[in-house]
Every structure is written in C-alpha cells, then in structure tokens.
C-alpha cells in the first residue's frame, strides 16, 4: 500500500486526463484566488507603499549587498524555519504542516502526470513521500487544532466554535485525511473507496478554491512582509510590524517581543 501509486488505479473510475485536468484547475484556482486577494485587499500596494516609505524615511541606506543578505536571512529564518513563531510548539506544528503539505501535494502531482496508469508504475519513493507528507500534515494540523489553538473559552466562546480563519486548516486536514483514508480503502478493495474518493475531491476543491477567503494566500504574502520588516529594521525606519524574530530589540522600544500562541 505504501509503495503503490493510488492515482494509477483510478482508471476504472475516471480517465487519467480527468485527474490531470483537475490538478491544472486547482493550480489555476490558487493563482486566480491569490491575484484576487491581492487586488481586493490591496496587499501589493500596501507592501510597495511601505517599501517606498522605508527607503525615503530611513536614516541609513541599505546597499545591494545588504539587500541580498537580508533576502537570504528572510528565506532561511522566516520562510524555511518559520522564525516568526516564538512558541516552540506552534513553530513545530507549523513546520510539520507546511513541509508535509509541500511533500504531499508535490508527490501527488508527479504521480498524476508522470505515472497516470499501472502500465507506467511510479517509483516506490513517490507513494512513500505522498504518505509521509500526508501524515506530517495530519500530525502538525491536528496537534495545532486540538492542543495549540487559541483557547476560545477564555474569551467566553465555545471550544467547538469554528471561525472564518479556520477555513484553511480545516479544509487542508479534510483533504489530506480523506486522501489517506481513500488510498487505504482502495488498497483494501473496499466498496467505500469510490465514495471516499469523491469526498476527497470535494475537500481538495474547497481547499484550493477558497483561497480568497482563507489564509492560503498568506503563504505568498508572508515572505514579502518578512523581507520588508527586515529592510525597515536595517535602515532604522520604525516599522508598524514587530522586529524580526532573531532581532528582539524593538527600535528602542521597551515592549516585549510578540507572543504567538
């Protein structure tokens, strides 16, 4: 089961071209949703305005070499290591979910396009990566949802309350969980496999189709925000964002570093 491409066995249910078209559609939905989010919320204008203010008001000019260094620090600390999270448990859960998401869906796309039928069996590593990535998403996502999420009871709300901001994590967990269950049912020759596959497609469509209304697009904005924050810190401009995680001093302010729960 762990070494078998689950998408190659779909020939009796849907043709390979269907799944390939579906993957392309999901990519289009992400791109279109992100562009809509940028235009609707004015994210790009916000960052460019902050960039211009940082360059014009900064008391220190940042050269090209330093900008490259800042970009590298942003990639290593803020993006790859999720340095904005001060809480170690929150960071670990986020990293598990993020890297699991990338591994899981990248492996799925390769299997759908490069190995769509049993006639062209996928290398055992690809299904294994698909399972490992999915399990990483489940570990990080459910850990966050049940043990790290903000305690809404402290605000007088129910711990079962679902907010608009929860759309991304819930649709992601639903998609990955249903995908893993479907693959297991399919390997067991269960009659419920096709039903679970349909639910898997619905959850995945919700995940990628809800970009304008979920936190999905944040993964594209956060690197830009982290880079602008580091540049404003370097040229000694007072930013409206907290200082970088690896630079706790807050422009001379005595306030504590931000806490992330």
| Extents of the domains making up the chain | 8-59+92-150+161-220
Span 64-76, mean pLDDT? Answer: 80
Span 238-252, mean pLDDT? Answer: 50
Task: Categorize the per-residue pLDDT at 247 as very low, low, confident or very high, splitting at 50, 70 and 90.
Answer: low
pLDDT, tens digit (0-9, with 9 covering 90-100), for 213-228:
887 767 767 777 777 7
CATH for 8-59+92-150+161-220, options being 1.10.3470, 1.10.10, 1.20.950, 1.25.40: 1.20.950
pLDDT above 50 for 7: yes
Q: Angle between the 125-143 and 167-187 helix axes, to the nearest 10 degrees?
A: 140
Span 103-125, mean pLDDT? Answer: 95
Q: Is 182 within 8 Å of 196 (Cβ atoms)?
A: yes
pLDDT, residue 249, reads 46
Token pair, residue 116, equals: 């769509």
Span 110-139, mean pLDDT? Answer: 95
Alpha-helical (H) ranges within 144-257 are 167-187, 193-209, 218-234
pLDDT above 90 for 241: no
Span 156-169, mean pLDDT? Answer: 76
Structure pTM? Answer: 0.79
Task: Categorize the per-residue pLDDT at 251 as very low, low, confident or very high, splitting at 50, 70 and 90.
Answer: very low
Q: Is 51 within 8 Å of 228 (Cβ atoms)?
A: yes
Distance of CA 210 to the CA centre of its chain: 13
Q: Is 244 within 8 Å of 230 (Cβ atoms)?
A: yes
The residues pairing with 250 across neighbouring beta strands, listed in sequence order, are 253
Q: What percent of the chain has pLDDT over 90?
A: 44
Helix (H) or strand (E) holding 107: helix 88-114
**What is the residue-wise DSSP string for 15-52?**
-HHHHHHHHHHHHHHHHHHHHHHHHHHTHHHHHHHHHH
Sign of the C-alpha dihedral computed for residues 73, 84, 246 and 55 taken in this order: positive
pLDDT, residue 6, reads 95
- Among 7-11, 102-106, 197-201, 206-210, the range scoring the smallest mean pLDDT is 7-11
Q: How far apart are CA 83 and CA 79, in angstroms?
A: 7
- In terms of pLDDT, which residue wins out, 261 or 101? 101
Instruction: Kindly state the DSSP code that residue 253 receives in the 8-state scheme.
Output: B
Q: What φ, ψ does residue 125 adopt, rounded to 5°?
A: -65, -35
pLDDT, residue 155, reads 59
pLDDT above 80 for 254: no
């Amino acid at each position: 089961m762990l070494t078998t491409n689950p998408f190659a066995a779909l020939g009796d249910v849907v043709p390979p071209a269907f799944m390939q078209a579906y993957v392309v559609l999901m990519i289009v939905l992400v791109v279109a949703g992100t562009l809509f989010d940028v235009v609707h919320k004015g994210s790009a204008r916000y960052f460019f305005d902050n960039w211009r203010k940082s360059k014009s008001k900064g008391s220190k000019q940042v050269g090209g070499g330093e900008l490259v260094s800042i970009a590298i620090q942003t990639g290593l600390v803020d993006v790859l290591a999720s340095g904005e999270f001060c809480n170690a448990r929150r960071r670990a859960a986020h990293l598990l979910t993020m890297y699991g998401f990338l591994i899981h869906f990248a492996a799925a796309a390769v299997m759908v396009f490069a190995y769509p039928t049993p006639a062209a069996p996928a290398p055992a590593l690809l299904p294994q990566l698909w399972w490992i990535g999915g399990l990483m998403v489940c570990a990080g996502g459910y850990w966050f949802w049940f043990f790290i999420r903000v305690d809404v009871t402290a605000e007088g709300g129910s711990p079962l309350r679902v907010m608009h901001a929860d759309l991304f994590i819930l649709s992601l967990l639903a998609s990955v969980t249903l995908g893993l269950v479907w693959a297991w049912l399919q390997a067991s020759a269960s009659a419920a496999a096709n039903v679970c596959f349909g639910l898997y497609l619905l959850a995945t469509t919700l995940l990628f189709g809800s970009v304008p209304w979920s936190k999905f697009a944040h993964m594209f904005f956060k690197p830009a925000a982290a880079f602008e924050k580091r540049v404003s810190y370097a040229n000694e401009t007072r930013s409206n964002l907290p200082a970088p995680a690896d630079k706790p001093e807050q422009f001379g302010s005595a306030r504590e570093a931000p806490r992330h729960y």
